[in-house]
């Protein structure tokens, strides 16, 4: 075993760490067995050992110390790799969502001094989906890697950055002095960093960032709550003008709550087939007859009221539910066209 570490029986003491020496002294003093993990550094490298020291007594006197040494280097490296895979993003080498939530929770559980806060930045790369779809995942992945490096370069000493997945990143400032505009300074730095284009393979790519900011304790003291509110603020920034930042506010939260309720109503309406088509006749003055009909969708509420498309189409487009609604409209309009055709109204084809 000793030769494996790169030294002989004669010079092993030269490599014995102070920790191991203290263990020997403790066993000699207490005459009790001890077990401990320790590191060993030699010309062959760094080793991780598990050492058990057992005192051997003869006639109630310490005669020797029996040492059992296990080389745990492979296990240590495997555990370290497993930990890294669980807490770090393999693409950007940044902490991942799980690590970010754990870090934020620990930070929020600490006591903070007056006027100092925890600030959460939620960041999204604008136009990333367009670039990724048009040029492929290889270019998209490289863009995320370069973006991660740019973001990391501006994070201050009291900051923590993580890649949440996709084109979303988070930055957490601990003990930030909001009275001095520290959050504004960082947000502006980040936006400036992305004014310069990215050169990836043969492509010159331009992307910007939208940033949402939430502050504890003003906006909450729960980590997931803060992340959600920063996310809401980020979408508000994206709606107003891309490459901007916004702080979370009650009005933003209220708007998002209304939007979420509208989405839930839409999903329920799709599942329960609570839409109806009204047909507006199209009349030709020249031919003096009806030439068709325009299909107009209405949502039927549980109490029987009709809601015009202006109240729900925007949310449907934003959430992707417009695809399901569009399929329903086409199916229903075609059914109605068949009914009219069977009745001899050949010129009454619906327009969608």
| pLDDT greater than 60 at residue 8 | no
Q: 113, 175 in Cβ contact below 8 A? A: yes
pLDDT in the model for residue 286: 81
Length of the chain: 352
| pLDDT greater than 90 at residue 101 | yes
Evaluate if pTM is beyond 0.85: no
Domain covering 261-351: architecture: Alpha-Beta Barrel (3.20)
Listing DSSP states for 11-76 in one string gives: TGGGG--HHHHHHHHHHHHH---EEEEEEEEETTEEEEEEEEEEEEEETTEEEEEEEEEEE-HHHH
Can you read off the two tokens belonging to residue 183?
């959050």
Listing DSSP states for 2-25 in one string gives: TGGGT--TTTGGGG--HHHHHHHH
CA distance 277 to 329: 8
pLDDT in tens, 166-200: 999 999 999 888 777 899 999 999 999 999 999 99
Q: 142, 206 in Cβ contact below 8 A? A: no
Beta-sheet strands, E only, within 74-229 = 116-125, 159-165, 168-177, 198-200, 203-205, 209-216
pLDDT in the model for residue 247: 93
Q: 97, 165 in Cβ contact below 8 A? A: yes
| pLDDT greater than 70 at residue 7 | no
Residues of the chain with CATH 3.20.20.450: 261-351
pLDDT in tens, 218-234: 899 899 999 999 999 99
| pLDDT greater than 80 at residue 32 | yes
Domain covering 90-248: architecture: 2-Layer Sandwich (3.30)
pLDDT in the model for residue 144: 96
pLDDT in the model for residue 85: 80
Q: 63, 75 in Cβ contact below 8 A? A: no
State the average pLDDT over residues 28-40. Answer: 85
Can you read off the two tokens belonging to residue 82?
């497993």
pLDDT in the model for residue 26: 87
Lowest mean pLDDT among 59-63, 135-139, 168-172: 59-63
Q: Could you say which of 124, 167, 219, 231 is catalytic?
A: 167
pLDDT in tens, 297-328: 999 988 888 999 988 888 888 888 899 999 99
How high is the mean pLDDT of the chain? 85
For residue 95, give the DSSP letter: B
Reply yes or no on whether 11 is catalytic: no
Q: Which of 166, 164, 165, 162 is nearest to 133 (CA)?
A: 166
**pLDDT over 70 percentage in the chain:** 90
Can you read off the two tokens belonging to residue 303?
């109490």
Q: 122, 183 in Cβ contact below 8 A? A: no
Listing DSSP states for 185-205 in one string gives: HHHHHHHHHTTS-EEETTEEE
Angle between helices 137-154 and 128-135 (to 10 degrees): 140
- Please report, for the chain, how many H helices and E strands are present, in that order: 10, 14
pLDDT in the model for residue 145: 96
CATH number 3.40.50.720 is the correct assignment for the domain at 3-76: no
State the average pLDDT over residues 40-64. Answer: 82
């Amino acid at each position: 075993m000793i030769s494996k570490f790169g030294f002989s029986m004669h010079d092993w003491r030269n490599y014995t760490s102070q920790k191991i020496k203290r263990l020997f002294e403790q066993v000699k003093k207490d005459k009790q067995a001890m077990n401990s993990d320790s590191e060993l550094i030699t010309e062959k490298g760094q080793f991780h050992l598990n050492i058990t020291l057992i005192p051997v007594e003869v006639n109630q006197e310490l005669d020797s110390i029996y040492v059992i040494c296990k080389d745990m280097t492979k296990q240590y490296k495997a555990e370290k790799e497993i930990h890294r895979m669980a807490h770090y993003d393999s693409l950007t080498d940044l902490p991942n969502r799980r690590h970010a939530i754990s870090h934020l929770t620990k930070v929020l559980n600490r006591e903070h001094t007056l006027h100092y806060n925890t600030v959460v930045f939620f960041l999204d790369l604008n136009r990333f989906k367009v670039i990724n779809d048009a040029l492929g995942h290889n270019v998209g992945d490289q863009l995320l890697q370069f973006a991660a490096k740019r973001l990391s370069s501006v994070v201050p000493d009291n900051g923590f950055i993580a890649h949440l997945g996709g084109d979303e990143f988070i930055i957490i400032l601990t003990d930030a002095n909001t009275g001095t505009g520290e959050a504004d300074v960082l947000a502006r730095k980040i936006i400036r960093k992305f004014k310069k284009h990215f050169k990836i393979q043969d492509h010159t790519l331009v992307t910007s960032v939208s940033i949402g900011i939430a502050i504890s304790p003003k906006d909450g003291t729960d980590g997931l709550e803060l992340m959600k509110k920063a996310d809401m603020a980020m979408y508000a920034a994206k709606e107003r003008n891309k490459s901007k930042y916004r702080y979370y506010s009650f009005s933003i939260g209220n708007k998002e709550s209304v939007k979420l309720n509208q989405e839930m109503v839409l999903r329920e309406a799709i599942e329960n087939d609570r839409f109806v088509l009204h047909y507006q006749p199209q009349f030709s003055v020249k031919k003096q007859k009806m030439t068709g009909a325009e299909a107009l969708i209405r949502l039927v509420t549980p109490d029987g009221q009709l809601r015009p498309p202006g109240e729900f189409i925007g949310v449907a487009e934003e959430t992707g539910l417009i695809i399901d609604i569009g399929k329903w409209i086409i199916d229903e309009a075609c059914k109605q066209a068949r009914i009219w055709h069977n009745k001899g109204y050949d010129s009454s084809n619906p327009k969608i």
